């Protein structure tokens, strides 16, 4: 007896793999946003909603595999199993639409929070609107394609469905819009990353995330070749490729969208492992090079001499990882945007451990004090003090 052809296990492997990726990435995202950044926003709620919807998609898809998805009609012994498999396929339509709408809107809100260029804001907003409109249209067309709805999987009753060519045309149209939206969301961050004030290593580290987003976009392109299989009479066997690439699109969209937010976690891990880099900046006149401010106005590093310049501030050693984490936290809280500058009068408060010729503003106990430095027309990143800015 010839072996029964069954592509169900192939689809199951794809489902489980992408589900693990998406779940892990979203879990890490939630940890970063709740514990590290402490700013759980609308985009995070939407991505969690997308994950829940994707889990439901995977659940009904697995149930469909159990009843016959991936097998030929003639290899399924019970007619009832065919109906069950078709019913679960129908529910895959619904959860697919919900997952893609929620994940893309989440990514859009995330990008809106880090962009400052008006043209970029318009592009992102337009893509989000297009995503919602096309997603809702596709959702209702597929959900209401048969009357009654149950006629989709149970033909043993009076009912009718719209012509399958209409469904195919709608799917092509929706996929075309998805390609435009997906590649926009995948490639626009490259422009935004280039504007971020971060080192080259960090920018390079974000490339895999962008590539993953591009792969998710490419999944839609690959699916174009299989949309015609909706007309195949051997539906459960012929549409496996559509299911595989639809699962890939959802899983990678959630994964890439979540990984883009967990940079603070990588920074924390690198810092714990002692891989963070420390770069000393040039001191102000009279300062001690390669030192950082210690207790009681003393510097640490290669010299223990007190700084005797105009004020008791030695060189501020720039800890790249800590600065980037602070920048990320401000970015996530909406306190910092790309390209921020601070023209005119700018006031910054610096906490030091010694006395200053400028005079303390307010004693905080012990030898610690807060002092004010007013900068005229300066753009300040970190707390770097040079001859030009003082």
Dihedral angle at the C-alpha atoms of 318, 206, 115, 248, nearest 10 degrees? -160
pLDDT above 80: residue 331:
no
In this structure, the strands spanning 146-147 and 291-293 are unpaired
What's the CA gap between 283 and 235, in Å, rounded?
73
* Distance from C-alpha of 297 to C-alpha of 276, rounded to nearest angstrom: 26
Under a CB-based contact definition with an 8 Å cutoff, are residues 252 and 302 in contact?
no
Q: Are 22 and 14 in contact (CB under 8 A)?
A: no
Q: What is the pLDDT of residue 210?
A: 65
- For 379, phi then psi, to 5°, come to -110, 120
In the chain the domains, ranked by start, together with CATH numbers, are 7-273 (1.20.1070)
The answer to whether 247 and 56 are in contact (CB under 8 A) is no
pTM of this prediction?
A: 0.69
- Residues 215-244 have a mean pLDDT of 91
pLDDT bin (cut points 50, 70, 90) of residue 198 is low
Q: Read off the pLDDT of residues 98-110 as tens digits, 9 standing for 90 and up.
A: 999 999 999 888 8
Q: If you average pLDDT over residues 286-301, what whole number do you get? A: 42
Does the structure show a pLDDT above 50 at 251?
yes
- Looking at per-residue pLDDT, the higher value among 314 and 32 belongs to 32
């Amino acid at each position: 007896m010839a072996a029964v052809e069954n592509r169900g296990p192939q689809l199951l492997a794809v489902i489980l793999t992408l589900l693990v990726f998406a779940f892990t990435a979203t879990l890490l995202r939630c940890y970063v946003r709740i514990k590290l950044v402490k700013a759980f926003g609308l985009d995070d709620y939407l991505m969690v909603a997308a994950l829940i919807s994707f889990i439901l998609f995977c659940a009904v898809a697995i149930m469909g595999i159990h009843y016959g998805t991936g097998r030929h009609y003639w290899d399924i012994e019970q007619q009832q199993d065919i109906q069950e498999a078709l019913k679960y396929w129908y529910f895959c339509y619904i959860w697919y639409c919900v997952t893609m709408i929620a994940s893309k809107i989440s990514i859009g809100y995330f990008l809106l929070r880090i962009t400052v260029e008006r043209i970029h804001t318009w592009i992102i907003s337009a893509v989000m609107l297009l995503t919602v409109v096309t997603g809702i249209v596709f959702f209702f067309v597929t959900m209401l394609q048969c009357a009654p709805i149950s006629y989709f999987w149970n033909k043993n009753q009076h009912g009718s469905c719209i012509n399958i060519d209409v469904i195919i045309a709608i799917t092509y149209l929706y996929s075309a819009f998805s390609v435009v939206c997906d590649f926009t969301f995948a490639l626009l961050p490259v422009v935004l990353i280039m504007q971020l004030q971060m080192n080259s290593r960090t920018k390079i580290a974000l490339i895999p995330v962008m590539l993953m987003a591009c792969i998710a976009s490419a999944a839609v392109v690959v699916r174009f070749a299989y949309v015609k299989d909706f007309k195949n009479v051997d539906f459960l066997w012929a549409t496996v490729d559509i299911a595989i690439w639809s699962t890939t699109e959802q899983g990678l969209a959630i994964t890439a969208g979540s990984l883009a937010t967990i940079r603070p976690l990588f920074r924390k891990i690198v810092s714990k492992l002692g891989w963070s880099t420390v770069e000393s900046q040039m001191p102000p006149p009279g300062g001690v090079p390669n030192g950082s401010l210690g207790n009681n106005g003393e510097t640490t590093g290669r010299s223990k001499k007190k700084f005797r310049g105009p004020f008791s501030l030695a060189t501020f050693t720039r800890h790249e990882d800590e600065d980037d984490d602070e920048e990320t936290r401000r970015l996530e809280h909406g306190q910092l945007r790309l390209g921020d500058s601070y023209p005119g009068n700018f006031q910054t408060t610096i906490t030091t451990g010694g006395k200053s010729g400028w005079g303390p503003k307010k004693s905080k106990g012990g030898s610690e004090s807060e002092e004010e430095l007013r900068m005229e027309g300066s753009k300040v990143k970190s707390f770097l003090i040079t001859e030009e800015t003082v």
